[in-house]
Amino acid sequence: MAWRELFSVDDIKVDERKVVTIEDNDILIIRTGHNVFAVEARCPHLNLPLKRGRVSEDDVLTCPYHHSKFDLHTGEVRDWSTWPPGIGKAVGKLSKEKPLKIYPVKIEDNKLFIDL
């Protein structure tokens, strides 16, 4: 494990997102009401930014572009490119279905750490 200290948990509010760059990796930090997640900042479909994606109560992140859905705990695909209606599935074929990369996080002494 290669834990890296990021910032104080108090520096990210509930429902806020931050993008940090570590060793050329852009990582999206998402704080929900009950958890903090760290995932790759760009969607594995077409490499577009996920920062504005919606997070559901069951911790599923929806890409704001073609609405692919990813489990924030495992990175697994819940749905792949469903939007816009009619052509979303065809747009999905532009890239092979692949999971979202996730990074383990931990909180110690009110500081957030990420494992690269």
Applying CB under 6 A, the residues found at the interface with ligand FES are 43, 45-46, 48, 63, 65-66, 68, 81
CB 7 within 8 A of CB 13: no
The count of residues in the chain is 116
State the minimum distance, in angstroms, from the CB of residue 11 to ligand FES.
Answer: 27
Q: Give me the least distance between CB of 24 and ligand FES, in Å please.
A: 20
Which CB, 6 or 100, lies closer to ligand FES? 100
Q: Considering beta carbons, is residue 65 or 103 the nearer one to ligand FES?
A: 65
Nearer of residues 87 and 107 to ligand FES, judged by Cβ: 87
**Sequence-separated (6 or more) residues with CB below 8 Å from residue 71:** 59, 60, 78
Q: Which residues pair with 62 in a beta bridge?
A: 54, 69
- The owner of tokens 């819940």 is 78
Please give the Cα distance from 25 to 72 (Å, whole number).
18
Shortest gap between Cβ of 29 and ligand FES (angstroms)?
18
Would you say 41 or 112 has its CB closer to ligand FES?
41
